[in-house]
Structure 1
Amino acid sequence: MTRKHLTFALPVALVYAASPASAGWNGAEWGMTPQQVEEATEGFARMTREELPREGREPRLSNRAEFESELSNFEVEYYHDHTGLQQIRLIPEFDDCDEVLNAFVSTFGEPIEYQEQVILRNFAWHDEENDNRIVLAHSTANLCTVYFYSLSDYTQRMEARAGSDAG
């Protein structure tokens, strides 16, 4: 996997422009170890676990941070698998979720994917320029989380799944 800076271009939405996943803001890259994330963020993303999970295990929380923007106060969680950084979660205060959603819509337009279930709504955007898949999960059960993933990794998984379904 080639390393990509987690850069986000979001001039309208403060949450995205000040995102802890922004390379210009803290330098994290997909595939980094927890130690590398902490070093690249100059201590912002405090390491909570040094070892990477074994291959075949689910990604686990390895760095944690908090930040404030005009939209909300956020908890930030960095998840790693055996290959390194795989996911970043931004968790705003629940009451601010609609504003966070509107910020992403004003920046990226309507989501490319939308799923609505009984209590959960998922919105997804692809930021191809910066190799990010962004998913906002919002529910009436006090859940609001923005997930950032490597778009190229996601695309490879979907292509592999489509190939196995066709065979």
Structure 2
Amino acid sequence: MRFFALAAAIAVCSQPVAAHWQYTRWGMTPDQVISASKNTAHIASDPAMHGTAEARNLLDGKYRSQGFDFDINFLFDTSNKLSHVSLQLVTPADCPVLQGKLSNIYGSPKTSVTPIINLAKWWDKPHGNVLVLMQIGDDSCKLQYMKYEEAGAEGGL
């Protein structure tokens, strides 16, 4: 009986981490994200505006949580698989409050502060996510979620 309990515990602990942001899962296609969002995500109005060569903004949406309103950009890799979720805070002045709430959830972030930009980064290994909060002056506050990759793992450092 003890062996069975130990084997079950090892099996549960060795399961892959369920990395995701809210209703999405990393690796989803644009159609899957639209479906999972119950059609609140839609084709991006200006895909070039928020994307890069490696992460293209194919879908946009709106999101509200904890009293914060966000504009969302869903970014996909060159295989059209979800790789990043970027949330632009509608009221950038609330960025310090948002950072405080995130710190209450994830602990103290690694920070970098310059006269132009403030960065705060959390590694949420238990949930398989990396979060980066970027505040640029008083005009912009963006929170990015991306998949946590172990150093040395495929796709990691």
**TM tier relative to shorter chain:** 0.7 to 0.9
TM-score of the pair, normalised by structure 1: 0.70
Pairs aligned (count): 133
- Deviations for 1:101-138, whole angstroms, at most 9, x for unmatched residues? 11011111111x21112210110001111110000001
Q: 1:77 and 1:129 mapped to 2: Cα distance?
A: 24
Distance change (3 Å), C-alpha of 1:59 and 1:150: same
Q: After TM superposition, give the deviation of residue 61 of structure 1 in Å.
A: 0.9
- Tell me the residue number matched to 2:59: 63
TM-score of the pair, normalised by structure 2: 0.74
Equivalent pair of 1:35/1:47 in contact (CA under 8 Å): no
- Deviations for 1:24-67, whole angstroms, at most 9, x for unmatched residues? xx2x1111111111112221212338xxxxxx933111111112
Q: 2:152 and 2:97 mapped to 1: Cα distance?
A: 28
- Out of 95, 100, 103, the residue aligned to residue 102 of structure 1 is 100
Task: Tell me how large the CA RMSD over aligned residues is.
Answer: 2.4
Q: 2:118 and 2:152 mapped to 1: Cα distance?
A: 22
Equivalent pair of 1:71/1:99 in contact (CA under 8 Å): no
**Unpaired stretches in structure 1, ≥5 consecutive residues:** 7-20, 50-55, 160-167
Matches within 5 A, 1:14-163: 21-22=21-22, 26=23, 28-48=24-44, 57-83=53-79, 84-92=81-89, 93-111=91-109, 113-152=110-149, 156=153, 159=157
Large movers: runs of 4+ above 6 Å: none
Percent same amino acid among aligned pairs?
A: 20
Distance change (3 Å), C-alpha of 1:67 and 1:35: same
